[in-house]
Amino acid sequence: MPNDTSNTKNNINTYHRADAPKHPVPLHLQEFSLKLRGKSLFSGLNLNINPGEITTLMGPSGCGKSSLLAAISGTLSSEFFVSGIICLGDFDLTILPPEQRHIGMLFQEDLLFPHMSVGENLSFGIPFSVKGKKARAELINQALEDAGLSGFANRDPATLSGGQRARIAVLRTLLSQPSALLLDEPFSKLDVELRERFRAFVFRHAKAHQLPTLLVTHDPDDAQSTGGRVLKMSDLNN
């Protein structure tokens, strides 16, 4: 879409989640370890990601990158043994259930709910505190317009192109007013041209929302494009 990369300032949301921190805060992991059936995936991880900063974690598939993100978001299966502390600013998230962490996730697949329309998917993300059909619809339309998808609210997600679906998934996450963003190889399924544009779209929004962002990938190209810090998974295992 032509206006994907043009305007960078039109997308600051005009509302705030009641329980969200007043100012953007960093995401902080301290002495973070993950074990599966006695086998250590990594241990003693210390990581600080500032608001608007995009940190990349690189490693081959199957090395526990996705599990790390699931652990941070709180959706990890109980088979895993997690220790360490996750903080947003001064706020300790470690024992909170996922729905109280407000950490946005994006996967390789868009995972749009297939039983909802595009608009319903976005509305699912908007906090309950935004009352009234009109106010919610306004947010949805504003978000769609920003992504160059005006008028898509009533569409069936299954009828959209891969790039369109990916952008809707990003919008859904952003509308939920997350305090941090985790990206689990969200670019790897898109073709090269689309990938670059979509990457720019995601990074632009992450920075505009001042979100501490952690990207895991096995593609050096992805890592380079963030312009931020790049860590290697192999350096974390000790």
Partner 1 sequence: MRDQAHTKQSLNHGRTTGFLWSDALGWLFSLRSMPVLTLLAFLGPVLAGLISTLLPAFGYLPVIGGEELSFKPWAELFSHPALPQALFNTLTSGLAATVISLILAIGFVSAWQGTKSFQRVRTILAPILAIPHSALAIGLAFLIAPSGWIARLVSPWATGWETPPDVAIIHDPNGLSLILGLVIKETPYLLLMMIAALDQNEANQRLCLARTLGYKPVAAWIKAVLPVIYRQIRLPIFAVLAFSLSVVDVALILGPTAPPTLSILVLRWFYDPDLSYRTLAAAGAVLQLLVVIGSISMWRLGEVVLSNISKQWLVNGRRDLFEGLVSALSKWVMKLIITAFFGSFAVILVWSFTRRWRYPDALPSVWSTQSWGSNLYNLFWSGGTTLAVGLASSVIAIALVVACLENEKRRGKTAGTGALWLLYLPLMIPQVSFLFGVQIVTIRLGIDSSWLSMIWSHLLFVLPYVFLSLSDPYRCQDDRYVGIALSLGASPARAFWRVRLPMLLRPLLFALAVGFAVSVAQYLPTLFAGGGRFSTLTTEAVNMAASGNRRVVGVYALLQALLPLLAFSAALGLPAFIFRNRRSLRGI
Q: What is the contact surface with partner 1 in residues (CB under 8 A)?
A: 17, 70, 73-75, 77-79, 81-84, 94-95, 97-105, 107, 109, 111, 113-115, 117, 124-125, 127, 156-159, 172-173, 176, 178
In angstroms, the CA 237 to CA 63 distance is 10
Q: How far is the CB of 77 from partner 1 (least distance, A)?
A: 4
Q: Distances in Å between the alpha carbon of 80 and those of 40, 62, 104?
A: 10, 15, 21
HEC assignment per residue over 95-146:
CCCHHHCCEEEECCCCCCCCCCCHHHHHHHHCCCCCCCHHHHHHHHHHHHHH
Please say which residue, 2 or 114, places its beta carbon nearer to partner 1: 114
- Give helix 162-175 / helix 192-208 axis angle, nearest 10°: 10
Please say which residue, 101 or 199, places its beta carbon nearer to partner 1: 101
Please say which residue, 162 or 196, places its beta carbon nearer to partner 1: 162
H-assigned helices in 24-117: 65-73
Q: How far is the CB of 219 from partner 1 (least distance, A)?
A: 21
Q: How far is the CB of 96 from partner 1 (least distance, A)?
A: 10
Please say which residue, 44 or 98, places its beta carbon nearer to partner 1: 98
Q: How far is the CB of 6 from partner 1 (least distance, A)?
A: 28
